Amino acid sequence: NAGVTQTPKFQVLKTGQSMTLQCAQDMNHEYMSWYRQDPGMGLRLIHYSVGAGITDQGEVPNGYNVSRSTTEDFPLRLLSAAPSQTSVYFCASGGSTGELFFGEGSRLTVL
């Protein structure tokens, strides 16, 4: 089992560029989510999905877009990158106990 797989692991963007962070899970979890991690702030929820075709906003959704066409995949799109979006992004999927399983993270730098 691969668990939760994220790509790319590293990315450098210029302000205004767009990109997609990919996330896939093979645990057949209905729940998937994206967090960003910034120093001293823990993890903050960006968007989440409780199943294919269903998405909703978390705590810090502005500047990001998501879709969920399959159970396995949950991509995160940055529409027009800003330096404030420089962060480490984690995708997670969740089981029935509420526990989350995290991908390895994607480190994004916006210049």
Partner 1 sequence: ELKVEQNPLFLSMQEGKNYTIYCNYSTTSDRLYWYRQDPGKSLESLFVLLSNGAVKQEGRLMASLDTKARLSTLHITAAVHDLSATYFCAVDPEYGNKLVFGAGTILRVKS
By CB under 8 A, name the one of 64, 94, 108, 110 that touches partner 1: 94
19 binds partner 1 (CB under 8 A): no
By CB under 8 A, name the one of 45, 52, 63, 73 that touches partner 1: 45
By CB under 8 A, name the one of 103, 109, 110, 111 that touches partner 1: 103
Cβ proximity to partner 1: between 26 and 104 the closer is: 104
Give the count of beta carbons closer than 10 Å to the beta carbon of residue 65: 14
Q: State in angstroms the smallest separation of the CB of 41 from partner 1.
A: 6
Stretch binding partner 1 (CB under 8 A), from 20-28, 65-73, 77-85, 89-97: 89-97
CB 44 within 8 A of CB 34: no
Stretch binding partner 1 (CB under 8 A), from 17-25, 41-49, 60-68, 78-86: 41-49
Cβ proximity to partner 1: between 33 and 87 the closer is: 33
CA distance 5 to 110: 22
